Structure 1
Amino acid sequence: MPARDSDNAPEIRINAFDMNCLGHLSGALWTHPRDTSLGYKTLEHWMELAKLLESGLFDALFLADVLGLYDVYRGGPETALRYGTQVPNNDPLLIIPAMAAVTRHLCFAATAILSFEPPYTFARRLSTLDHLTGGRIGWNIVTGYLDSAARGAGQARQTAHDTRYEVAHDYMEVVYKLWEGSWDDDAVVADRAGATYADPRRVRAVHHDGPHYKLDAVHLSEPSPQRTPLLFQAGTSEKGRAFAARHAEAVFINGRSKATVASHIADIRRRAAALGRDQADVKAFVELHVVVAKTEQAARAKLEDYRRHASLEASLALQSGWTGIDFDRYGLDEPLRYVENDAIRSGLEALTRTNPEKRTWTPRQLADAGLAGGSTTTLVGTPETIADLLQEWQRDTGADGFNLSHALRYESFVDFIELVVPELQRRGVYKRGYGEGTFREKIYGRGRRRLQHPHPAASFRHDRAVVVA
């Protein structure tokens, strides 16, 4: 039954899902005459998007990223290059200060791939962003999945899937020590008369001798509003869920199947509870795509219009990169089989071995499903229908909110803001104004600026750090 108005219905949180590139998830829809993606190289493009999202009271802009090219399909990058499929792509972190400057409340969750950047310099970049945004920064922790990225970093191929998570645990310990343990809360005194900015007795060097990283250094940035940014994680393989249970404050899960989403959210929260964490401290955001219009017929027509401008080949290039399988070697209507590799393992598992709907996918079906809005569920209908479906997804999966992908920039987000947001507000499940505070406080409430025990980051605060004589 549709989910209707309820005094006890939880608030629905909404993030926009995008990427600093020409073509994010849809198959070459930058070619549509109403799409604005050709402006992605300009600050104005992103500043306008940020102002739009804040006008719609979105919680955050969630920025994807990938290093390397999608060169699995047909054994090379030609298809991705021809259609602008996540290439060219630019650094997501560099556009955030400009967007923060024209907004007050919108937060920013940026994907950064830890496999190819030393934790010492990365920790400074995130602290800088936390300062510049006034504490509105989050980090989506990923380990990468493309061999082309590894080759770009001087490696023959990417590290094995499970090993990447072992490396990631060590990486997280290093950045936690830098963010949480290097500077005391009162280390900065800014004493003009005494010509002392920081009290050296209250600043500590971080010593780390782990299996993958070694460090002996003071964190270069003074304490930022959150210290550790709000932590997102997007992997749902066995290793990914274990990592999320230990580190993530919010998980990002693809919304292809309600049953799979619900299972992953419940499993991650159970694992977190087993580590002593409160299950409510692990928020869940599900990727969905929304096509909305004032009538069902108009919404369906809009989706078909998008699909006519999309490219099946571009979609196949994306799917091949994500799964690590060259779909050109399959017949377009040949059933997919599970193949063990080091790409996004959870995605292929969900299509084959752990598919609760027992659906047999073919390359054609997979690419066709991802033509407009990406490889997730597309909700199509009137504002009332979309609101019903979002409430159903929240109820049936345990999600706290959604990362909304787009078919067209900025049209998809404009439609949602103008048509769906007022309906959600009428039902009392969408905020009518922003709360004050940092990203973490906006999610968890005032007074939750920093990570709390028993999250592992809290164990590295200065009272447990080693003081350098």
Structure 2
Amino acid sequence: MAADAGTFGAGGRRIILNAFTMNCVSHIQQGLWVRDDTRQREYTSLEPWLELARICEAGCFDAVFLADVIGLYDTYRGNADTSLREGMQVPVNDPMLLIPAMATVTEHLGFAFTSNVLQAHPFTFSRQITTLDHLTGGRVAWNVVTSYLQNGAQSLGYEALPKHDTRYERAEDYLDVCYKLWEGSWSDHAVLADTERGVYADPAGVRPIDHEGPYYSVAGPHLAEPSPQRTPVIYQAGSSDRGRDFAAKHAECVFVVAASRGLTRIAEDIRRRVRAVGRHPDDVKIIAGLSPIVGGTEAEAKAKHADYLETLSLEAGLAHLSGNLNVDLSHIDPDQPLETLRTEGVRGPVKSLLDSARPGSRTFGDLIKLNMAGQFLVGSPEQIADGMERRLDQGVDGFNLVYATTPGTFVDFIDGVVPVLRERGLVQREYQPGTLREKLFGRRRLGETHYASGFRQQRV
């Protein structure tokens, strides 16, 4: 039975819920893999992933969101030793290969995964996506990233990581290829599967794409027949001006990581850019990162939070952040008060980090731990629900929930917070039928105002 949209809260709002994870030892909360109450060390086995999929579907989550990174974090101390020693996003396995297995034990749960535009040729990648969309019955989303690690680019055969804007120019060409293959190569009536005449596909409905772009030359046609969604749901997480323009043009869901006080400004900016390219603001969902720590009471949640902070690895957090910022942070004393650092004339990314310091960040080490932990929201189920509702009022449509322990964080959230959110009419009690896009937007195909719709064949 499908949920009635009228059962949702004021304005028909529904919070989108994704479990944010990665096919590795240690994802965001660095160091917590050593705990006995997590299954992170079992990432190479299939069973924990099947368990997670079942848990998320039982909680009516929209998707499991699988992060990924190509390359090593080797900026900290000038090498990757800390990353390897701490299991900090290395070793890491391919996220795409988990999806068919998780799909077999679920019926509705979506699967978003990250793949950057340097790692696979678009002709090959587009067929992989179509295959996944077929095998899952249209439950796939692609998080488009442009890469940011020098080691990854060099391992893929580039002399160096292309410049920031060049990476986005390549991504534009990459997506043009994919859209032409997914949306335009096969017409809606090309597949006949006519057993009486022995005709599977009408050759007149299958066309080459003859793409000639600045980075890719692809003849086509697409080798796979159209899948339920054709184009997967498109995620994007760029935070720069160029990244937000890219998201406004292409994304259906934009993943943002920011302190609560900055969400309104970010949401308004993204929606302004969406309108500027001729799309409706409702065509894009804004998904915020959030790390819920749920306790039966506020005191219980705070005790759990303190325990996690004690286990977090500051060294791994510094290595992670150094790679993200492309700045070696090893020269900064983690015990140094933030006020002292602010008076030393720091520049660029480190200054931005200092300016983002939240209450309670007394030293640089405190700031790193809070940054590493993500947007922690600590409290009873009612307090967590209150915090999520406040973010909803700031323009957010949903959350990528970051785990401290897996699957424990998700179990605690589903058992404690989801019933409160359901009582408030803010999350679904049952799934809508159809593909992932139908569940999120009420349509199977990309909207008519989306850039990719211009590549569709017109039936004559």
TM-score computed with the length of structure 2 as normaliser: 0.93
Write out per-residue CA displacement over residues 398-418 of structure 1, whole angstroms, 9 at most, x where no aligned residue: 010111001001110010000
**In 1, Cα distance between equivalents of 2:174 and 2:191:** 27
Amino acid at match of 1:249: E
Write out per-residue CA displacement over residues 416-466 of structure 1, whole angstroms, 9 at most, x where no aligned residue: 000000111111111111100111100011xx100122211100001299x
Q: CA deviation at 1:360?
A: 9.2
Which residue of structure 2 lines up, in the alignment, with residue 344 of structure 1? none
Cα distance change on mapping 1:77 and 1:105 into 2, 3 Å: same
**In 2, Cα distance between equivalents of 1:161 and 1:349:** 20
The secondary structure found in structure 1 opposite 2:57 is helix
Matches within 5 A, 1:197-216: 197-216=200-219
Matches within 5 A, 1:249-264: 249-255=252-258, 257-264=259-266
Q: CA deviation at 1:141?
A: 0.5
**In 1, Cα distance between equivalents of 2:64 and 2:253:** 14
Matched positions, count: 446
Is 2:133–2:139's contact at 8 Å kept on the other side of the alignment? yes
**In 2, Cα distance between equivalents of 1:129 and 1:48:** 20
Cα distance change on mapping 1:6 and 1:118 into 2, 3 Å: closer
Which residue of structure 1 lines up, in the alignment, with residue 454 of structure 2? 459
After superposition, the CA RMSD in angstroms is: 2.1
**In 1, Cα distance between equivalents of 2:195 and 2:346:** 68
**In 1, Cα distance between equivalents of 2:309 and 2:71:** 27
Cα distance change on mapping 1:21 and 1:444 into 2, 3 Å: same
Is 2:72–2:151's contact at 8 Å kept on the other side of the alignment? yes
The secondary structure found in structure 2 opposite 1:232 is strand
**In 2, Cα distance between equivalents of 1:186 and 1:349:** 56
**In 1, Cα distance between equivalents of 2:426 and 2:400:** 16
Is 2:25–2:92's contact at 8 Å kept on the other side of the alignment? yes
1:60 counterpart = 2:89: no
**In 1, Cα distance between equivalents of 2:332 and 2:358:** 22
Which residue of structure 2 lines up, in the alignment, with residue 220 of structure 1? 223
Alignment counterpart, residue 378 of structure 1, candidates 376, 384, 389: 376
**In 2, Cα distance between equivalents of 1:357 and 1:46:** 34
Alignment counterpart, residue 110 of structure 1, candidates 103, 113, 130: 113
1:21 counterpart = 2:19: no
The secondary structure found in structure 1 opposite 2:458 is helix
Alignment counterpart, residue 405 of structure 2, candidates 403, 408, 430: 408
Which residue of structure 2 lines up, in the alignment, with residue 130 of structure 1? 133
**In 1, Cα distance between equivalents of 2:368 and 2:290:** 16
Matches within 5 A, 1:293-304: 293-304=295-306
Amino acid at match of 2:155: G
Alignment counterpart, residue 433 of structure 2, candidates 433, 436, 445: 436
Write out per-residue CA displacement over residues 373-416 of structure 1, whole angstroms, 9 at most, x where no aligned residue: x3x220101011111111011102x0101110010011100100
The secondary structure found in structure 1 opposite 2:330 is helix
1:314 counterpart = 2:309: no
Which residue of structure 2 lines up, in the alignment, with residue 331 of structure 1? 333
Write out per-residue CA displacement over residues 324-372 of structure 1, whole angstroms, 9 at most, x where no aligned residue: 11110233333484437xxxxxxx685367x59899996423322145x
Amino acid at match of 1:90: N
Amino acid at match of 1:384: E
Q: CA deviation at 1:225?
A: 0.3
Gaps of 5+ in 1: 341-347
The secondary structure found in structure 1 opposite 2:134 is helix
Which residue of structure 2 lines up, in the alignment, with residue 272 of structure 1? 274
The secondary structure found in structure 2 opposite 1:272 is helix
**In 1, Cα distance between equivalents of 2:376 and 2:364:** 18
Cα distance change on mapping 1:349 and 1:106 into 2, 3 Å: farther
Gaps of 5+ in 2: 1-7
**In 1, Cα distance between equivalents of 2:354 and 2:172:** 28
Cα distance change on mapping 1:155 and 1:359 into 2, 3 Å: farther
Cα distance change on mapping 1:414 and 1:191 into 2, 3 Å: same
Is 1:62–1:110's contact at 8 Å kept on the other side of the alignment? yes
Is 1:15–1:59's contact at 8 Å kept on the other side of the alignment? yes
**In 2, Cα distance between equivalents of 1:361 and 1:192:** 72
Q: CA deviation at 1:72?
A: 0.8
Is 2:67–2:114's contact at 8 Å kept on the other side of the alignment? yes
Which residue of structure 2 lines up, in the alignment, with residue 365 of structure 1? 366
**In 2, Cα distance between equivalents of 1:274 and 1:7:** 28
**In 1, Cα distance between equivalents of 2:439 and 2:68:** 24
**In 2, Cα distance between equivalents of 1:127 and 1:94:** 14
**In 2, Cα distance between equivalents of 1:56 and 1:279:** 28
Is 1:22–1:37's contact at 8 Å kept on the other side of the alignment? yes
Amino acid at match of 1:324: N
Amino acid at match of 2:113: A
Cα distance change on mapping 1:246 and 1:349 into 2, 3 Å: farther
Is 1:179–1:219's contact at 8 Å kept on the other side of the alignment? yes
**In 1, Cα distance between equivalents of 2:167 and 2:251:** 16
**In 1, Cα distance between equivalents of 2:357 and 2:39:** 37
Q: Percent identity?
A: 47
Is 1:260–1:350's contact at 8 Å kept on the other side of the alignment? no
TM-score computed with the length of structure 1 as normaliser: 0.91
Q: CA deviation at 1:9?
A: 6.5
More deviation, 410-419/357-366: 357-366
**In 2, Cα distance between equivalents of 1:358 and 1:350:** 16
